[in-house]
């Protein structure tokens, strides 16, 4: 298992982290026992970073993680988010959201609290209400570090430029079919020593030959994704799912990404994915070729 320092937080984190959405049942039915088994397997594999949110399973992910970590809380860097989609990002509601998360997680502190989905609020509200609430909670010892999350890179850039947070999290922006994070976001985060967490290295399932159901209505996006994947045959290991290993190695080996998140409820999948976190990335000639294919071209 490879480890990295998560920016200015100073946290030593496994370069592969466990994402909490599947643990809440968002991608298929799962049980408390399944989640405990996966978390125990993650710890055995050396994974010490778990990322969740109140949104995942409408609180079920946090509840199950909290239950699974009884007696093991000190073995993980635990990250969650605020607030839940549909709720206001006000100071008061942010405090309540985090207090509710603490209760579900059965812990008295959260290592990393992140503003969830910048797309759901405004920059002004984030800076004037949500972040001050996080800072208050940090003063109280209830959170240790502060971050923001967004799918759109342009929403994250002001937080980097103004050095407002300890970490940023995005998803599907350093993948084999869309590596636009490498243009501005990753270099600036490195300059500011702000830790980067990257989710969905398989581009919403596209690189696993199984696009997420919510993408099915977007025929133009899937057509473009297929066009790009046709140019990646030199990376494919097998058929199907032959791009999973190169996709994970691509993100995991990036020196400017501290944590790449994977979500699974399968012990077999967890162990296989964790085995790719061994410090071995794509060969230099393959990486160079990849970077010539879609420079600056967003997919999502």
pLDDT per residue over 78-128, tens digit each? 999 999 999 999 999 999 999 999 999 999 999 999 999 999 999 999 999
Q: Which helix (H) or strand (E) holds 246?
A: helix 244-252
Q: Which residue has the tokens 């996006």?
A: 221
Q: Annotated catalytic residue: which of 3, 56, 109, 291?
A: 56
pLDDT reading at 27 higher than 90: no
Does residue 25 or residue 4 have the better pLDDT?
A: 4
pLDDT reading at 55 higher than 90: yes
Residue 268's pLDDT band, with cuts at 50, 70 and 90, is very high
Token pair, residue 113, equals 């609290």
Q: Which residue has the tokens 């778990």?
A: 50
Annotation says 56 is catalytic: yes
In this structure, are residues 232 and 176 in contact, taking their beta carbons and an 8 Å threshold? yes
> Averaged over 182-198, what is the pLDDT?
98
> Averaged over 252-263, what is the pLDDT?
97
Q: What is the pLDDT of residue 29?
A: 85
| Closest residue by Cα to residue 55 from 106, 91, 100 | 100
Give the C-alpha separation, 181 to 163, whole Å: 18
Residues facing 13 on adjacent strands: 4
Residue 74's pLDDT band, with cuts at 50, 70 and 90, is very high
| 95 secondary structure, DSSP code | H
Residue 140's pLDDT band, with cuts at 50, 70 and 90, is very high
Share of the chain above pLDDT 70, in %: 100
pLDDT reading at 25 higher than 90: no
- Domain spans, the chain: 3-205+246-282
| Three-state secondary structure string covering 114-144 | EECCHHHCCHHHHHHHHHHHHHHHHHCCCEE
Share of the chain above pLDDT 90, in %: 93
Q: What is the pLDDT of residue 239?
A: 81
Q: What is the pLDDT of residue 240?
A: 87
Model confidence over 207-242: pLDDT tens digits? 999 998 889 899 999 999 999 999 999 999 888 899
Where are the strands (E) in the chain, listed by range? 3-5, 12-14, 16-19, 49-51, 77-82, 110-115, 143-149, 167-171, 195-199, 259-262
Q: Quickly name the fold that domain 3-205+246-282 has.
A: TIM Barrel (3.20.20)
pLDDT reading at 261 higher than 90: yes
pLDDT reading at 188 higher than 90: yes
What b/e sequence results for 256-295 when a residue is b if at least 16 CB atoms lie within 10 Å of its CB, and e otherwise? bbbbbbbbbbebeebeebbebbeeebbeeebeeebeeebe
Q: Is the dihedral of CA 114, 193, 256, 35 positive or negative?
A: negative
Residue 76's pLDDT band, with cuts at 50, 70 and 90, is very high
């Amino acid at each position: 298992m490879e480890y990295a320092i998560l920016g200015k937080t100073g946290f030593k984190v496994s370069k592969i982290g466990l994402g909490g959405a599947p643990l809440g049942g968002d991608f298929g039915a799962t049980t408390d026992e399944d989640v405990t088994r996966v978390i125990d397997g993650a710890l055995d594999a050396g994974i010490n970073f778990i990322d969740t949110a109140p949104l995942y399973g409408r609180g079920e992910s946090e509840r199950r993680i909290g239950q699974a970590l009884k007696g093991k809380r000190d073995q993980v860097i635990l990250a969650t988010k605020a607030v839940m989609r549909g709720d206001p990002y006000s100071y008061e509601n942010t405090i309540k959201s985090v207090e509710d998360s603490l209760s579900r997680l059965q812990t008295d502190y959260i290592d990393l609290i992140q503003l969830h989905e910048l797309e759901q609020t405004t920059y002004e509200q984030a800076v004037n209400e949500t972040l001050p609430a996080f800072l208050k909670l940090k003063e109280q010892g209830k959170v240790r570090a502060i971050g923001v999350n967004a799918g759109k890179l342009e929403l994250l850039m002001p937080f980097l430029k103004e050095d407002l947070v300890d970490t940023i999290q995005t998803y599907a922006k350093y993948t084999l079919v869309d590596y636009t994070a490498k243009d501005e976001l990753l270099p600036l985060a490195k300059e500011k020593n702000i830790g980067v967490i990257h989710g969905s290295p398989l581009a919403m399932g596209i690189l696993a030959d199984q696009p997420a159901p919510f993408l099915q209505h977007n025929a133009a996006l899937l057509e473009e994704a297929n066009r790009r994947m046709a140019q990646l045959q030199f990376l494919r290991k097998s058929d199907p799912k032959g791009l999973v290993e190169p996709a994970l190695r691509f993100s995991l080996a990036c020196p400017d990404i501290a944590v790449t998140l994977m979500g699974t409820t399968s012990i077999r999948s967890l162990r296989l994915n964790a085995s790719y976190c061994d410090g071995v990335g794509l060969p230099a000639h393959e990486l160079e070729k990849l970077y010539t294919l879609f420079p600056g071209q967003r997919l999502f």
